[in-house]
Amino acid sequence: MTRSLLHQLAAALGDGAVLTEPDDLASYVTDWTGAISGTTMAVVRPADTAGVAAAVRLCAESGVAVVPQGGNTGLAGGATPDAAYENVVLSLSRMRRVRDVDAVADTITVDAGVVLADLQDAAHAANRLFPLSLGSEGSCTVGGIVSTNAGGTSVLRYGMMRDLVLGLEVVLPDGRVWDGLRPLRKDNTGYDLKQLFIGAEGTLGVVTAAVLRLLPDVPRRATALLALPDVGCAVAMLPLLRTHTGGLLTAWELINREALGLVLTHLPGARDPFGTPHAWYGLVELAGGSEDVEGLLESALEAAVERELVVDAVVAGSRTQRAALWALREGISEAQRIGGASIKHDVTLPIAELAEFVAEIGDLLDEVLPGVRRVTYGHVGDGNLHYNLSAPPSGDAALRASAPDLTRRVYDAVAGRGGSISAEHGLGSLKREAAASYKSDVEIDLMRSVKQALDPRGLMNPGKVVP
């Protein structure tokens, strides 16, 4: 049966579009962190939507599962095939066409395999902005960021991916194509079906194209790295920054010393812009068109120093300095990966709870594993912390052995304060079971009903998302 499916796939898509050699499969069956891996019988790489539909239909006829995959930069295992299911990985990486830029409707229509950085460039070429921005933008793809409802560093101004999608084209689990590729801002014709597929991590169908919003370009940027006494000051900075910057605040990112230390240790060229270490740092950015962003940032910083919220500041004086400050923030994931075993906790809390959460959880984790290193960073404006852990001096094995206990303590504390155990990375395979403990029975029931309605045979990305 396997051999006949592979022949049919090759006949439908062309020989070169079906990979089966172990060496060719390797990079598709392990996630970016290297911590999650699975197996697959083949990777198929269709060139267009018709090819995706044909591949999904053939797999459905053979009862073989389909695992959609974009840039494979996800952090919850959503794109990694689960070895428990006979499956084919469906890579959208050949579908890289910008289909249309509409200056009147202010939209861009792109294939699912378009890389986020290329999408940003295409928007710039039309003097517009596609505002989603994240560390992996050089490799993550539209299908992936739609399917995970990705966030990143400018959500506090522009929202998450869900806020930027106007329409979708989706191949359904039986191979039919739903053409919802509409650029309409108003469309009250019953259920908003596209919302089901955004954040579904490929469990309800394969996103093959999207119509996205464009925004006015904001070429002027003012960026600074601030030294902060504590998380409470980072939270108090938020209304202050908003008040002083008139809607131009684009990023307000938190970094603790442990996180910066990893970057300084592991990433070549990284340099501490301050003379002495500080407990916490905040990276602030304003972006505007003709506005005096530098002046606004300066006045905000003066007010912050006066209120003793900030103890030191480095303002980027050039594009290069700005890039160097962002490299310190965006390099944290990579530095933590190089630095050895780690546990990721991508959580959101009500913003007012952030400081107390951080103050409380440290001791609770030390009870489980003394000296466990807290690599804390994230997006203050969204209440989103990456409360990641790295191994203590006792080593990686100790961290791995304590991981379930540590994670339970983090999630219990988050849930106890009304937060969520996944802010922007999704559930994937990593948090699927945990979701069962932190979502209500009614929510889980609804999720299962939706899955059953769209994918009754359970062939779309099995083992992910739905508890």
Where along the sequence are the contacts to ligand MLT (CB under 6 A)?
A: 75, 135, 332-333, 344, 346, 386, 388
> Between residues 86 and 382, which has the closer beta carbon with respect to ligand MLT?
382
Distance between the two ends of the chain, CA-based, in angstroms?
30
Least gap, CB of 150 to ligand MLT (angstroms): 9
Task: Supply φ then ψ for residue 88, to 5 degrees.
Answer: -125, 135
- Compute the distance between CA of residue 261 and CA of residue 7 in angstroms, rounded to an integer: 52
Q: Which residue is nearest to ligand MLT (CB)?
A: 333
The secondary structure element, H or E, covering residue 324 is helix 319-330
- Whether the Cβ atoms of residue 161 and residue 131 lie closer than 8 Å to each other: no
Q: Is the CB of 245 or the CB of 336 nearer to ligand MLT?
A: 336
Neighbours of 239 (CB within 10 A): 10
The least CB distance from residue 336 to ligand MLT, in Å, is: 7
Angle, helices 49-62/2-13, rounded to nearest 10 degrees: 160
**Least distance in Å: CB of 274 to ligand MLT?**
21
Residue 153 beta carbon to ligand MLT: minimum distance, rounded to whole angstroms: 7
Other C-beta atoms within 10 Å of 359: how many?
12
DSSP state for residue 374 in the 8-state scheme:
E
Nearest residue (CB) to ligand MLT, 147 versus 388: 388
Q: In this complex, which beta carbon is closest to ligand MLT, that of residue 69 or of residue 333?
A: 333
Question: At its nearest, how many Å lie between ligand MLT and the CB of residue 84?
Answer: 26
Of 168 and 332, nearer to ligand MLT (C-beta) is 332
Is the CB of residue 78 less than 8 Å from the CB of residue 464? yes
Q: For residues 137 and 346, which CB has a smaller minimum distance to ligand MLT in the complex?
A: 346
The length of the chain in residues reads: 467
Cβ 367 to ligand MLT shortest distance, Å: 24
**How far, CA to CA in Å, does 250 sit from each of 135, 154, 352, 365?**
15, 5, 20, 33
Taking the CB of residue 387, how many other CB atoms lie within 10 A of it? 24
Q: How far apart are CA 69 and CA 14, in angstroms?
A: 19
If the CB atoms of residues 228 and 251 are measured against ligand MLT, the closer one turns out to be: 251
Minimum distance, C-beta of residue 386 to ligand MLT, in the bound complex (Å): 4
